[in-house]
């Protein structure tokens, strides 16, 4: 196996760990959407988003990766908002 193939295999192993965690995160987002709908709260919460970004900044061991981690989390939070919107639409249907 070439070094490139080894690195790709490692990426696949990491993805196998990430996918279940992301699925769990999105499942929790669905539960949050239900709670927000019951409490008549908006889906978007800029304060919560700021807390997530601050947490990334504090948790990252490799600070040079923070901009990339922030970009990844922005995509995750965008998907989360979409799930929450869809969940609230389903509840009103």
pLDDT for the residue numbered 37 = 84
Superfamily assignment of 3-92 in CATH?
A: Chorismate mutase (1.20.59.10)
> In terms of Cα–Cα distance, which of 26, 20, 36 is closest to 83?
26
The answer to whether the predicted template modeling score (pTM) of the entire model surpasses 0.75 is: yes
Q: Give the tens place of pLDDT for each residue, 24-68.
A: 999 998 898 888 888 989 989 999 999 999 999 999 999 999 999
pLDDT for the residue numbered 90 = 74
Domain residue ranges in the chain: 3-92
Q: How far apart are CA 82 and CA 20, in angstroms?
A: 19
> In terms of Cα–Cα distance, which of 54, 41, 51, 49 is closest to 76?
49
pLDDT for the residue numbered 36 = 87
> In terms of Cα–Cα distance, which of 83, 79, 77, 76 is closest to 37?
83
């Amino acid at each position: 196996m070439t070094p490139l193939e080894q690195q790709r295999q490692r990426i696949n192993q990491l993805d196998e760990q990430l996918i279940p965690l992301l699925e769990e995160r999105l499942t929790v987002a669905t539960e949050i959407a239900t709670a927000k709908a019951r409490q008549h709260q908006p889906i978007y919460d800029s304060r919560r988003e700021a807390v997530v970004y601050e947490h990334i900044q504090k948790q990252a061991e490799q600070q040079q990766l923070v901009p990339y981690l922030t970009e990844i989390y922005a995509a995750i939070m965008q998907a989360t908002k979409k799930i929450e919107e869809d969940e609230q639409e389903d509840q009103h249907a």
